[in-house]
Structure 1
Amino acid sequence: MMDVEIRFTDLSKGKGLFVKRAFKKGDVIFEEVPLVCCQFSWNATCKYRACDHCLKPLETAEENARRLTGIIDLDLPYPECCTTKKDTITCCEKCGIEYCSSECLVLADSQYHKILCLGTRDRNGCHPLELLNDAWKNIHFPPETNSIMLIVRLLCRIIQSPDPEVAINQTLQFCHRTINEDAELAHKLLGDNFTDQILNLLSLLKQALPYEIIHQFLTEDGFKSLLALIGTNGQGVGTSAISQWVSNTSKLPLTDAERDSLDKFIDKLYDGMYEKSGNFLNNEGVALFKLQSAANHSCSPNAEATYPHNNFKLSLIALRDISEGEEVFISYLDECSLERSRHSRRKELMENYLFSCNCEKCIAQSDQPDITSEEEDGSSMSE
């Protein structure tokens, strides 16, 4: 039985997520697997090997470290701390897509992969799905924040569902804005330079998924609503074989000298990875969660999403004590943005989510000037 519930509120935000019992700081409020998830397109292209269903790493920690540092003979100590199980990795016999286990293969096949499997189709040249993915990649270079393939999987989930109407209604629960708002968010997701690509992306999507059951989503307005959906509800997912190894080595019963040696090795390892690969160290993707997406924003959140299982399973953790009946708030902004001025935060939220934040932190800072952090820094420097 879930300890949270979605309720409609009397505020303009519509609905929110509320706890049905009290939670202490650090407690897991709930865990949830997504309706759909997919790896970012460039992340996959750059050989960040992950399960195509749950995003669990398919490299060992040592393989991961070698690729990210470019040191092909690097040896990682304490290999028993690696959690990747190479003997369970399998793939679709028809198209070769890889999965961490037969369970993920079966789940993917039953939910969306029967439609997406290119190995079952007669092909002349590039398939529309590949053209769609390439078109998306050409307008979304790293750092990636979303993927058109999340929409593809969401639609395939409807097509393959034993009850498509239920799947459609589940999708529509995420779509609650006006046509003009959807268009504004769709344009924001694509960026000013690429808004003219909407019809091209839609055309390729229609060619890839020519199914009458999803016709309402294959109109221009329907497609914009899906772009708005993933832009406002898509939750980032990150997994890493090397970070899991580091976490497990911290639990080893080592002597002080051994611990000091290991810490120095890890520091040098991360220096090498950053030098070779920059900040792009994880398998990264995006997912759509029913419960997590119902949580409203606060610039002083009482909960945050984590991925302790090193796959797409989300754990929502309490950042402070939460009383029974209290609303759960997460942050739609990253840590850096949360530290910016009230005006900067509200400007970013309005641009990306179309609402003006009135959380406790914003109300408490209402006497701040209506200028962005950059403008404030500039004025300070000029004085």
Structure 2
Amino acid sequence: MNVEIREIDCIKGKGLFAKKFLPTGSVILEEEPLVCCQFSWNAACNYKACDHCLRPLESAQENARRLAGNYNLVLPHPECCTTNKTAICECASCGTEYCSQDCLVTAFNQYHRTLCLQTKERNGFHPLETLNEAWKQIHHPPETSTIMILPRLIATIEQAENPDEMLKRILNFTHRTRNEDLELVHKIMGDKYVDSLNTLYNLLLAAVPHDVVGPLLTLEGFYSMLALLGTNGQGVGTSPISQWVTKASELPLSKGEKKRLDQFIDKLYEDMDKHSGNFLNNEGVALFSMQSSANHSCDPNAEPNYLHNNSRLSLVALKDIQEGDEICISYLDECNLSRSRHSRHKMLKENYLFVCCCPKCKEQVEDPDVTSSEEEEEDHDDDDDGEDMSE
């Protein structure tokens, strides 16, 4: 292992540290998720992915045709497609699709044996389907999580060789107070849907066994699991067309062929953007034991990637990391990282309940609280909505 987890302090808790020098661009670690699940609307909108690892089930050409809305489109260099259609298989009982027999067996042995609907004729009334539909009515795209990862988490504990040890491993993710959990859950749900929490809780109870996981299936445990998703859920994205583009761009082509290929790719992305917008990937959420120990920095030295076009996470160094250095990622996307210290702190406090004290934030400590016209306008609107407290 290139890294180790260390206790830091009572505020930051644990952190991920380098055990040796790690150069820029190197893969720090690779990790399979504890559990992974495709977003509910992403699956409903025909983004076809392996139910276990999210590897694409469409060929690059099928994917491009659907996303561009052009079913006569022909991709050049079909040998650059990485989807193995001949390996795709399905659960004999429920028809759930997997990218390979290995994923089918792994899923069945980890959680699917417990959750299998046992029939290919799904009628929308199975408790798991009802839970999924209820969630979809609350969380429309763009999606950031799905409640459907919770049944997999619970079934993983139930089917574990040592359920008590697996339960402890799950509980190790959670180290917040009850009030912090409630604050995060309200943020995840939004004020409009907070009243739906009891409905979701009861639907979850009806959908999963709870012989072993008692602490997780109390109402308080349910809130804790939702908060866990909000703070530790890592987005996963896979795409057959992006893999095709990468492979095709590496081909030893003549200058003229290279130019024609680049023009084709540019036009393809333009067409996909017009027809499908920014929603080009198979997307989901996963929990990773090692990666979840990486703390946030507004100037991160590492970032998560999915180099294998499935849910296997690769943590890649963004800069040289010295032995003993803490390895930090960003909890914010690139756009929000470029915003003011004030904005970053506001987002991190709302979504993760902490105030960042990274070197970048310390350097900007004298910066004004509001630096962009957009934020000034937002604050002005807030002031107009409130009472005048000047007297």
CA displacement, residues 211-242 of structure 1 (integer Å, 9 cap, x when unaligned)? 22112111111000000001100000000000
1:284 aligns with 2:283: yes
Partner of 1:24: 23
Code of the aligned partner of 2:306 = Y
CA displacement, residues 333-383 of structure 1 (integer Å, 9 cap, x when unaligned)? 000100110010000000000000110000000011122643347799xxx
User: Match of 2:148, SS?
Assistant: helix
CA displacement, residues 272-291 of structure 1 (integer Å, 9 cap, x when unaligned)? 00000000000000000001
Partner of 1:254: 253
Partner of 1:193: 192
User: Match of 1:119, SS?
Assistant: coil
Q: Distance in 1 between matches of 2:96 and 2:245?
A: 28
Q: Distance in 2 between matches of 1:109 and 1:49?
A: 19
- Say whether the 8 Å CA contact 2:17–2:326 is kept in structure 1: yes
Q: Distance in 2 between matches of 1:182 and 1:154?
A: 18
Partner of 1:220: 219
Q: Distance in 2 between matches of 1:377 and 1:327?
A: 37
Q: Distance in 2 between matches of 1:347 and 1:129?
A: 36
Code of the aligned partner of 2:197 = I
- Say whether the 8 Å CA contact 2:28–2:317 is kept in structure 1: yes
Q: Distance in 2 between matches of 1:340 and 1:284?
A: 26
| Shift in alpha-carbon separation, 1:378–1:184, aligned structure 2, 3 A | closer
Partner of 1:132: 131
Bigger mean CA offset, 367-376 vs 21-30: 367-376
Partner of 1:163: 162
- Say whether the 8 Å CA contact 2:68–2:274 is kept in structure 1: yes
Partner of 1:37: 36
| Shift in alpha-carbon separation, 1:322–1:49, aligned structure 2, 3 A | same
Q: Distance in 1 between matches of 2:217 and 2:300?
A: 36
Code of the aligned partner of 2:152 = R
- Say whether the 8 Å CA contact 2:124–2:130 is kept in structure 1: no
Residues 1-383 of structure 1 mapped to structure 2, 5 A cutoff = 2-10=1-9, 12-119=11-118, 126-371=125-370, 373=372, 374-376=374-376
Code of the aligned partner of 1:329 = C
| Shift in alpha-carbon separation, 1:120–1:157, aligned structure 2, 3 A | farther
User: Match of 1:118, SS?
Assistant: coil
Bigger mean CA offset, 365-374 vs 211-220: 365-374
Partner of 2:383: none
User: Match of 2:205, SS?
Assistant: helix
User: Match of 2:15, SS?
Assistant: strand
CA displacement, residues 72-113 of structure 1 (integer Å, 9 cap, x when unaligned)? 111000000000001100000000000000000000000000
Q: Distance in 2 between matches of 1:256 and 1:203?
A: 62
| Shift in alpha-carbon separation, 1:171–1:67, aligned structure 2, 3 A | same
| Shift in alpha-carbon separation, 1:378–1:126, aligned structure 2, 3 A | closer
Q: Distance in 2 between matches of 1:36 and 1:378?
A: 39
| Shift in alpha-carbon separation, 1:125–1:188, aligned structure 2, 3 A | closer
| Shift in alpha-carbon separation, 1:378–1:130, aligned structure 2, 3 A | closer
User: Match of 1:236, SS?
Assistant: strand
- Say whether the 8 Å CA contact 2:94–2:120 is kept in structure 1: no
| Shift in alpha-carbon separation, 1:125–1:370, aligned structure 2, 3 A | closer
Q: Distance in 2 between matches of 1:257 and 1:336?
A: 35
Code of the aligned partner of 1:364 = E
Code of the aligned partner of 1:131 = T
CA shift for structure 1 position 122:
11
- Say whether the 8 Å CA contact 2:93–2:120 is kept in structure 1: no
Q: Distance in 2 between matches of 1:122 and 1:59?
A: 23
Count of equivalent residues: 379
Code of the aligned partner of 2:215 = Q
User: Match of 2:175, SS?
Assistant: coil
Bigger mean CA offset, 29-38 vs 210-219: 210-219
User: Match of 2:283, SS?
Assistant: strand
Bigger mean CA offset, 9-18 vs 63-72: 9-18
Unmatched tracts of structure 2, length 5 or more: 381-391
CA shift for structure 1 position 10:
2.7
Q: Distance in 2 between matches of 1:134 and 1:81?
A: 37
| Shift in alpha-carbon separation, 1:123–1:320, aligned structure 2, 3 A | closer
Q: Distance in 1 between matches of 2:71 and 2:279?
A: 18
**Same amino acid, percent of matched pairs:** 61
Q: Distance in 1 between matches of 2:139 and 2:275?
A: 22
CA displacement, residues 317-340 of structure 1 (integer Å, 9 cap, x when unaligned)? 000000001100000000010011
CA shift for structure 1 position 19:
0.9
Bigger mean CA offset, 354-363 vs 364-373: 364-373
| Shift in alpha-carbon separation, 1:54–1:177, aligned structure 2, 3 A | same
Q: Deviating runs (4+, > 3 A) in structure 1?
A: 120-125, 376-380
